[in-house]
């Protein structure tokens, strides 16, 4: 668990542009950053971790979805390499794209095997909230610094998209579910405050993709509530609405003051650009720059549907021109273009298993931790489905880590939950068996064994009544 905390919090803290990409080692001309090293170290730790200790819950098998994903990722990797060898991309571009792809099974493995027991699953929930708060703080500081110094020519230059804002959206949706379902993760006032802080951090990126994905996560959390409790839960959650609205208003007001730009108008224009139809003051729709690249990636997929065009297909000469600005900005179509149906199936299995398993964990209601872990899996799956359609997400290493690690944690916790349920049933069966055992003074001298006629034989004084 300490390594998971280190990896996740560093991912929340570091700016990709000003730190990660400027502090790299070059090995044989290939750039290696701090997260490349952390992923290798984490995989080794997970691989060598002792699994026979008293606090490590052993399960009968690894979750089947994990095995399916590993198989699909291996097949997709070979297919992507075959295509990458002949699609015209440079070795560096192919290896970079391969790295972004292989981090998925590696982080899944790390998340799965670094969770020892249900207690560490509970700690992961607090870690998810902490990451949301940390990245929100970093985003707000970045935005405030850029706007105060006016070191930008356009307001979009102050967008903090180099931070992994995904953590903020996921934390907010998780806390929303916790408050709505009355399953305590944080004290109520603290939970409301954390929700407001995460919303502010998510808003400050000025990314419409983040807003839409965050909304999807919150709606998914609401849909997870039992139907007969939704009205009461909604009323409980509604108490936080003034805090959330105030957080947004404060954010826009302070942004207006420090930047000299009218953030209220900016917010209004960006929201209108997400709606269908022509509207006054909206120059372009949010998806206008995405569609050409998406269509080009789909055409590439149909030319090689099984294995795709190979790693780094987006960097090849045939993909440049009018399509280039939108390439990789729909993670699902870019996955189809690079690794075909095999790579797409690997990621679809990941988000699909998180949604299905998360639902089952919540409905099992064995304890609060597994319910909240299941809710986090459900929320993360829907968040990334939408985020993947809207922008770059799990096709980039750092932006994919929240999905990959959480998938491993969810599936590992589910296997532990099933193991503990089986143990509880076995213990209950033993208790019931003993409850049917009775002592009869008249049977002194009989040991409980029965003869051919079904009568007790000599030897003791206990017998089975059933």
Mean pLDDT of the chain: 78
Taking 90 as the threshold, does the pLDDT of residue 182 lie above it? Answer: no
Taking 80 as the threshold, does the pLDDT of residue 399 lie above it? Answer: yes
Choose between 39 and 239: higher pLDDT.
Answer: 39
- Which helix (H) or strand (E) covers residue 438, if one does? strand 437-439
Percent of the chain at pLDDT above 70?
72
- Which helix (H) or strand (E) covers residue 457, if one does? strand 456-458
Mean pLDDT of 252-268: 58
Taking 50 as the threshold, does the pLDDT of residue 459 lie above it? Answer: no
Angle at 391 between CA 387 and CA 395, to 5 degrees: 85
Choose between 279 and 37: higher pLDDT.
Answer: 37
Lowest mean pLDDT among 43-47, 167-171, 276-280, 357-361: 276-280
Three-state DSSP at 56 gives: coil
**CB neighbours of 206 closer than 8 A, spacing ≥ 6?**
155, 156, 158, 159, 266, 270
Mean pLDDT of 100-120: 92
Q: How confident is the model at residue 112 (pLDDT cuts 50, 70, 90)?
A: very high
Number of neighbouring beta carbons within 10 Å of residue 238: 10
Taking 50 as the threshold, does the pLDDT of residue 345 lie above it? Answer: yes
Q: Look at residue 85 in the predicted model and tell me its pLDDT.
A: 81
Tell me the per-residue pLDDT of 349-397, one tens digit each, with 9 for 90 and over: 999 999 999 999 998 888 889 999 999 999 999 999 998 888 888 888 8
Q: Look at residue 241 in the predicted model and tell me its pLDDT.
A: 63
User: Whose CA is closest to 102, among 419, 394, 357, 431?
Assistant: 394
Angle at 179 between CA 14 and CA 377, to 5 degrees: 55
Handedness of CA 452, 458, 464, 466 (dihedral sign): positive
Q: Is 3 exposed, middle or buried, given 0-12, 13-18 or 19+ CB atoms closer than 10 A?
A: middle
Query: Distance between CA 373 and CA 355 in Å, rounded?
Result: 11
Query: Distance between CA 35 and CA 182 in Å, rounded?
Result: 37
Q: Look at residue 126 in the predicted model and tell me its pLDDT.
A: 95
Q: Is 177 exposed, middle or buried, given 0-12, 13-18 or 19+ CB atoms closer than 10 A?
A: buried
C-beta separation of 164 from 398 below 8 A:
yes
Mean pLDDT of 91-100: 88
pTM: 0.80
Tell me the per-residue pLDDT of 1-32, one tens digit each, with 9 for 90 and over: 889 999 999 999 888 777 777 777 777 667 78
Give 253's strand partners.
none
Where is mean pLDDT largest: 17-31, 56-70, 97-111? 97-111
C-beta separation of 27 from 171 below 8 A:
no
Dihedral over alpha carbons 268, 270, 276, 282 (to 10 degrees) = 80
Taking 60 as the threshold, does the pLDDT of residue 436 lie above it? Answer: no
């Amino acid at each position: 668990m300490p390594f998971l905390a280190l990896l996740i919090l560093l991912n929340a803290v570091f700016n990709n542009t000003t730190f990660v990409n400027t502090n790299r080692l070059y090995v044989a001309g290939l750039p290696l950053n701090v997260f490349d090293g952390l992923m290798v170290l984490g995989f080794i730790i997970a691989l060598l971790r002792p699994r026979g200790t008293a606090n490590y819950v052993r399960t009968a098998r690894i979750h089947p979805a994990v095995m399916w994903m590993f198989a699909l990722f291996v097949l997709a990797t070979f297919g992507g390499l075959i295509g990458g060898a002949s699609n015209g991309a440079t070795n560096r571009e192919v290896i970079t794209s391969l790295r972004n792809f292989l981090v998925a099974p590696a982080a899944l493995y790390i998340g799965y095997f670094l969770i020892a027991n249900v207690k560490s699953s509970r700690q992961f929930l607090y870690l998810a909230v902490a990451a949301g708060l940390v990245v929100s703080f970093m985003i707000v500081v970045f935005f405030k610094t850029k706007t105060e110094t006016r070191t930008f020519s356009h307001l979009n230059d102050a967008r903090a998209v180099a931070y992994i804002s995904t953590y903020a959206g996921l934390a907010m949706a998780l806390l929303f579910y916790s408050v709505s379902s009355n399953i305590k993760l944080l004290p109520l006032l603290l939970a409301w405050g954390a929700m407001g802080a995460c919303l502010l951090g998510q808003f400050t990126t000025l990314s419409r993709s983040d807003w839409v994905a965050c909304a999807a996560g919150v709606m998914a959390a609401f849909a997870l509530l039992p139907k007969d409790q939704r009205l009461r839960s909604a009323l409980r959650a509604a108490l936080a609405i003034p805090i959330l609205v105030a957080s947004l208003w404060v954010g826009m007001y302070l942004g207006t003051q420090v930047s000299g730009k009218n953030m209220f108008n900016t917010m209004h224009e960006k929201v209108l650009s997400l709606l269908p139809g022509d509207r006054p003051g909206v120059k372009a729709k949010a998806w206008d720059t995405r569609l050409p690249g998406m269509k080009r990636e789909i055409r590439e997929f149909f030319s090689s549907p099984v294995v795709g065009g190979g790693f780094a297909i987006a960097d090849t000469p045939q993909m440049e021109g009018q399509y280039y600005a939108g390439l990789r900005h729909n993670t699902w179509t870019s996955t189809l273009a690079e690794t075909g149906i095999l790579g797409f199936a690997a990621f679809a299995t990941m988000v699909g298993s998180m949604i299905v398993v998360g639902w089952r964990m919540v409905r099992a209601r064995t304890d609060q931790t597994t319910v909240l872990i299941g809710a986090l899996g459900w929320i993360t799956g829907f968040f990334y489905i939408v985020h993947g359609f809207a922008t770059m997400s799990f096709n980039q290493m750092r932006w994919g880590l929240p999905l990959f690690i959480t998938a491993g944690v969810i599936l590992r916790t589910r296997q532990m939950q099933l193991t503990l349920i089986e143990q509880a049933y076995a213990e209950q069966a033993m208790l019931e068996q003993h409850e049917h055992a009775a002592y009869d003074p008249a049977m002194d001298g009989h040991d409980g064994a029965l003869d051919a006629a079904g009568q007790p034989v000599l030897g003791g004084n206990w017998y089975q009544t059933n």
